Amino acid sequence: MNVVYLSNLVRTTPSAPASTDAGISVHFSRGIAVKLVGQIHDLAPDGVTHIRARLATSIGELPLRADVSLLDPDLQDGDWVCVKLRTLHSEPRSHFAMRVFKVPPAPGQTAWLPMLGCKHEAGMAELRRLLFGLEPALQGFFANVMADSPTTEKQFYSRIGAMDHHVYPGGLFEQCLAAARLAQQDPDIQERDRGLLTMAALLFDFGKLWEQGLHWDSDRSQGQLVPHRLTAFRLHRQLQRLAKTQPKLATELAELLAPPAPYAPPNPRMQVLRSRLAQCVQQSWGDTSPLAIPRITPRNGAAQ
């Protein structure tokens, strides 16, 4: 798979000016577009047919080059815009744009937007606010995960949660969001660890997107709950890319999203985070649907 790196995003926070220390990479597979929302600055013509500008977002700053025919005609410096990004094969990798159009201001929400329409509008708005509270590298990581393949977003929004809770299309999305909400509100975890815990809770059952059939999550609750068996495998590539710029963050996130190694030396901090993570996820199952499918137990060769 050909991957294009938007590697010149600079570290920044919503309340602080951008740093000159580059180090957050947003990347996506060829043929997959990405949406980012932010404010446009330093808008200037670049020849007759193009413009250049800076896009300031919650993830970082991105130099843009776009065809004037794909811009709102009254675009000005400081406007909030949504930018659909794709590679421009004839340009340096640092300049991308497919379309730039004005949108309502979006303070307090992450730069990332879903490419596909999502029926869970309230849940999507909450997700964007929740992501905004995380450090830029985690916001970018989630955007990269959603852009990893053409089907990831669709499955994430539409899959049923399990056989015994959230048994309706979109149930998994709502349950993952509930788990992340609980993690972000945890008062007993330090701020940085809370962000790590929030992202791990959001992606704890990411592996379900590739699971054949549905299963009862209650079967997983014997002993300490661990992430879905496919989660670490499916996130491995994105975690490797995160490790190129944020090695410690990638290592700790990988530890939380995989079953504990049986012979690893004890790490008290990670043990606490794993325990809190399991509690958040299991608690999020409590919002069960009355349509939960009852367990059918064979008896004398027949189902009851």
Residues 219, 277 within the same domain: yes
| pLDDT in the model for residue 263 | 77
The total domain count for the chain is 2
Task: State the DSSP string of 154-166.
Answer: HHHHH----SSS-
Per-residue pLDDT tens over the stretch 57-116: 998 888 888 888 888 888 899 999 998 876 544 444 445 667 888 999 988 999 998 887
* pLDDT score of 148 more than 90: no
User: pTM for the full model?
Assistant: 0.83
Q: Are residues 141 and 170 in the same domain?
A: yes
- Segment 237-252, tens digit of pLDDT: 999 988 988 999 999 9
Regarding whether 213 and 245 lie in a shared domain, the answer is yes
Whether residues 19 and 125 fall in one domain: no
The alpha-carbon radius of gyration of the chain (Å, integer) is 21
Greater model confidence, 302 or 292:
292
Tokens matching residue 88: 């421009």
**In the block, which residue shows the tokens 């509008």?**
121
The pLDDT-based confidence of 286 (bands split at 50, 70, 90) is: confident
**Domain residues for 54?**
1-113
- Among candidates 214, 240, 239, 238, which has minimal Cα distance to 228? 214
Q: Does residue 299 form part of some domain?
A: no
> Residues 159, 200: one domain?
yes
83 and 156 fall within a common domain: no
Burial class (CB in 10 A: 0-12, 13-18, 19+), 74: exposed
Last residue of a domain, one of 97, 113, 129: 113
Does residue 302 sit within a domain?
no
Please indicate, yes or no, whether residues 258 and 145 belong to a single structural domain of this protein. yes
Higher pLDDT, 157 or 18: 157
Q: Rounded distance, CA 51 to CA 48, Å?
A: 8
**CA distances to 144, 156, 216 from 129, in Å:** 18, 18, 30
Q: What is the pLDDT of residue 182?
A: 96
Residue 254: other Cβ atoms inside 10 A: 17
Q: Are residues 165 and 246 in the same domain?
A: yes
d(CA 38, CA 61): 9
Highest mean pLDDT among 17-26, 44-53, 283-292: 44-53
In whole angstroms, what is the distance from residue 186 CA to residue 44 CA? 45
Predicted confidence at residue 95, as pLDDT, reads 52
